[in-house]
Amino acid sequence: MGSEIPLKLPFIDFTNLDQNTKNDDWNSTKSQVHRALEEFGCFEATFANIPPDLQTSVFDSLQELFDLPLQTKLKNRSTKPFHGYVGQYPMVPLYESMGIDDAPIPDKAESFTKILWPEGNPKFSKTIQEFSEKLSKLDQMVRIMILESLGLEKYMDEHMGSTNYLLRVMKYKGPETNDSKLGLNSHTDKNIVTILHQNQVDGLEVQTKSGNWIKVQPSPNSFIVMIGDSLYAWTNGRLHSPYHQVMMSGDKARYSLGLFSIPKAGYVVKAPPEVVDEEHPLIFKPFDHVEFLQFYYTEAGQRAQSALKTYCGAWTNGRLHSPYHQVMMSGDKARYSLGLFSIPKAGYVVKAPPEVVDEEHPLIFKPFDHVEFLQFYYTEAGQRAQSALKTYCGV
Ligand SMILES: O=C(O)CCC(=O)C(=O)O
Ligand SMILES: [Fe+2]
């Protein structure tokens, strides 16, 4: 399947759209959005709502912020994981970021600014607030289109009212080499929708369902729209939440911003009955997003193949872990390798023995024939599933 798909994200024009005018343009854009999010979980968008001078001042503001002394930046703390200052991590030495909760709300943007500049910095707080507020209109249009295209209009108010916004601003130092260096580890976003914008230094890579990496090269005025795991769960897997990472080379710093729509604390993410049927059995049990995030940042959450699956799925009798792995290459030498695989014989039914199943560890996977499972794995549905085994025989 992968070879026919060009390694470029779909490009969708939102320039003349208005959520209050549902004309032919709206409907055709909506179909493009739906197709892009089913296949890639991601697309590049143009959106005329952000004037060029605001884009320029936003990157000036980011530079001003990251140029502050480390001691000052560390003052931005948060009880929520990944919302405060993040940086100086040996695993991702090029990366620094700051979270600004509810950035579209003027008072919130101002109180964040006061933490870093106690004497105030009106230009910074106005720039950040205006940019987030204008960009949140794109998040809203995309989410309205998603609900309409899935026939879930009746949940519109509940869905739109159940989130708030986090603006995360990021700096990646240039590694000062032409070799590709890790800027940010491969991950899926955990929220609803993410919208990313960058200065003209590329680095974002998005993985396709067939495992190829698209090197994203957005045009100066465009935005990358991406689905997070919470929307993947709420749509019961109808939309894809892609793995993505940042790889850096050269000596220029990359500045980027992400506007994240996030389920509010206490809101339980639960797929509506309209997206659950015999062909699409429920993938995840309902979950509280904040509790899920807390789990994600525990050691078990970080180790898990899919944190959401571990958190919500009934697979706690997976006593041993089967890790995701990949191969990354550089240089000019060929790598040869061998693997010796012990494989269940055809006809042998894999079934957890009763000794590993108890009240604390209920059965995760129904007994399955390995050859039939492999046959499923190589169908399109199997390839799309986050975990083919869970989709094939999850209890
Ligand atoms: O910097 C970027 O473009 C990506 C950042 C990202 O993936 C994240 O903050 O979740
Ligand atoms: Fe991300």
Tell whether 299 is covered by a domain.
Answer: no
pLDDT number for residue 319: 47
Q: Whose CA is nearest to atom 1 of ligand 1?
A: 256
Tell whether 288 is covered by a domain.
Answer: no
- Of 110, 166, 179, 175, the closest CA to residue 139 belongs to 166
198 alpha carbon – ligand 2 mean position (Å): 13
Per residue in 92-144, pLDDT tens?
899 999 999 999 999 999 999 999 999 999 999 999 999 999 999 999 999 99
Tell whether 340 is covered by a domain.
Answer: no
Give the ligand 1 atom nearest the CA of 172: 1
The bound ligand whose nearest atom lies closest to the alpha carbon of 242 is 2
Specify the length of the chain in residues: 395
Q: Is 23 exposed, middle or buried (0-12, 13-18, 19+ CB in 10 A)?
A: exposed
> CA torsion sign, 292 to 105 to 168 to 156?
positive
Residue range 365-392: mean pLDDT, rounded: 60
CA distance 200 to 66: 17
Query: In percent, how much of the chain has pLDDT > 70?
Result: 77
> Which residues does a 6 A CB cutoff place in the pocket of ligand 1?
168, 170, 184, 189, 196, 198, 204, 244, 246, 256, 258
Ligand 1 binding pocket mutation candidate from 170, 223, 248 (most atoms within 8 A of CB) = 170
Per residue in 304-319, pLDDT tens?
667 666 665 433 334 4
Contact 390, 8 (CB under 8 A): no
- Of 149, 145, 171, 170, the closest CA to residue 160 belongs to 145
CA distance 237 to 322: 22
3-state secondary structure of 153: helix
49 vs 261, residue with greater confidence = 261
186 alpha carbon – ligand 1 mean position (Å): 10
The bound ligand whose nearest atom lies closest to the alpha carbon of 256 is 1
Structure tokens at 4: 């026919």
Structure tokens at 38: 């089913």
24 alpha carbon – ligand 1 mean position (Å): 33
Tell whether 339 is covered by a domain.
Answer: no
CA distance 15 to 11: 12
CA distances from 263 to 159, 162, 271 (A): 9, 6, 13
Tell whether 200 is covered by a domain.
Answer: yes
Per residue in 323-361, pLDDT tens?
566 677 888 888 888 777 666 666 666 667 676 676 666
Tell whether 378 is covered by a domain.
Answer: no
Per residue in 46-83, pLDDT tens?
998 899 899 999 999 999 999 999 999 998 887 776 67
Q: How many CA atoms lie within 13 A of 63 on its CB side?
A: 11
The bound ligand whose nearest atom lies closest to the alpha carbon of 259 is 1
**Claim: this prediction has a pTM higher than 0.95:** no
Give the ligand 1 atom nearest the CA of 254: 1
Residue 242: CB atoms within 10 A of its CB come to 22
The bound ligand whose nearest atom lies closest to the alpha carbon of 227 is 2
DSSP H helical ranges for 40-80 = 52-66, 70-73
pLDDT number for residue 291: 79
Contact 348, 369 (CB under 8 A): yes
pLDDT number for residue 22: 87
Tell whether 21 is covered by a domain.
Answer: yes
Q: Which residue has the tokens 């094939």?
A: 392
Query: 185-202 burial by CB neighbour count: b if 16+ within 10 A, else e?
Result: ebebbbbbbbbbbbbebb
CA distance 155 to 169: 31
ipTM over 0.90: yes
Q: Is 113 exposed, middle or buried (0-12, 13-18, 19+ CB in 10 A)?
A: buried
- Its domain, for residue 235, covers 11-269
**Side-by-side strand order, sheet with 213-215:** 177-187, 244-250, 204-207, 213-215
Q: Whose CA is nearest to atom 5 of ligand 1?
A: 258
Helix (H) or strand (E) holding 39: helix 24-39
| CATH number of the domain to which 54 belongs | 2.60.120.330
353 vs 152, residue with greater confidence = 152
Which of 40-44, 52-56, 187-191 holds the top average pLDDT? 40-44
Tell whether 115 is covered by a domain.
Answer: yes
290 alpha carbon – ligand 2 mean position (Å): 17
Structure tokens at 62: 């980011």
Domain count, the chain: 1
Q: Which residues contact 292 (CB under 8 A, 6 or more apart)?
A: 190, 307, 308, 311, 312
CA distance 359 to 287: 21
Average model confidence (pLDDT) across the chain: 85
Give the ligand 1 atom nearest the CA of 245: 7
345 alpha carbon – ligand 2 mean position (Å): 40
